Amino acid sequence: AQTVTQSQPEMSVQEAETVTLSCTYDTSESDYYLFWYKQPPSRQMILVIRQEAYKQQNATENRFSVNFQKAAKSFSLKISDSQLGDAAMYFCAYRSEIQTGANNLFFGTGTRLTVIP
Amino acid sequence: DGGITQSPKYLFRKEGQNVTLSCEQNLNHDAMYWYRQDPGQGLRLIYYSQIVNDFQKGDIAEGYSVSREKKESFPLTVTSAQKNPTAFYLCATKDRGLPNEKLFFGSGTQLSVL
């Protein structure tokens, strides 16, 4: 099974500043997808951003962008102009293109982001 | 007001007791899922159902059971065989044809052992 590693259990950022959350993964596949999910205090998981492995261009969604380094198997999330509402747990996830069924989505252990006013 | 309703928000289980977590949706989604979340661990798939009257085991199904008698409902029973049930449980749904990451999640149930 693929493994997804988030080496930063906790991070903090000043409001309006930029923060980068790290994620690495291990796979032998060439076609796959990577995601960042946000889990706010309400505890509902929300899909933040999505990256296809075959695309070299890094995905962006407003203040959220990724740095996808396929050779290094690295997928970091950059949050610009941090807002208080960005405070949450962030999970990196991997989806296999080869494996079918619901078991093809793998989550990292999460990074808790605190935003300091 | 469409969404997923998980109840109760907090649940306590005594030793040897079976407990059932409720998940109801009015999104008209075909697929429903149960995930377990432990501190310091990612979400792990317990069971999923792609259609009424059918369900499949996920990665950690031992000690759990489910049913899918109605499209709107996918209850999860934590049986006495589950020796470490304390965790946060998330229910999710997905519309047919969408990739697996396009999940809608409920607000979860925190289960604790007395």
Shortest Cα–Cα distance, B8 to chain A (Å): 14
CB < 8 Å to A43, chain B: 88, 90, 107-108
Give dist(CA A70, CA A76) in Å, integer.
Answer: 11
pLDDT of residue B2: 62
CB atoms B42 and A107 under 8 Å: yes
User: Percentage of residues in chain B with pLDDT exceeding 70?
Assistant: 98
**pLDDT value, residue A84:** 97
Q: What is the pLDDT of residue A104?
A: 83
Residue A20 CA from chain centroid, whole number: 10
Residues A9-14, mean pLDDT to the nearest whole number: 97
Q: Which distant-in-sequence residues (6+ apart) come within 8 Å of B70 by Cβ?
A: B52
pLDDT value, residue B102 = 85
SS3 for A112?
A: strand
pLDDT category at B97 given cuts 50, 70, 90 is confident
Tens-digit pLDDT profile for residues A40-86: 998 889 999 999 999 989 999 999 999 999 999 999 999 999 999 99
Q: How far is CA A20 from CA A10, A76, A78, A92, in A?
A: 12, 7, 4, 13
Distance from CA of A94 to the nearest CA of B (A): 9
CB contact under 8 A, B101 and A95: yes
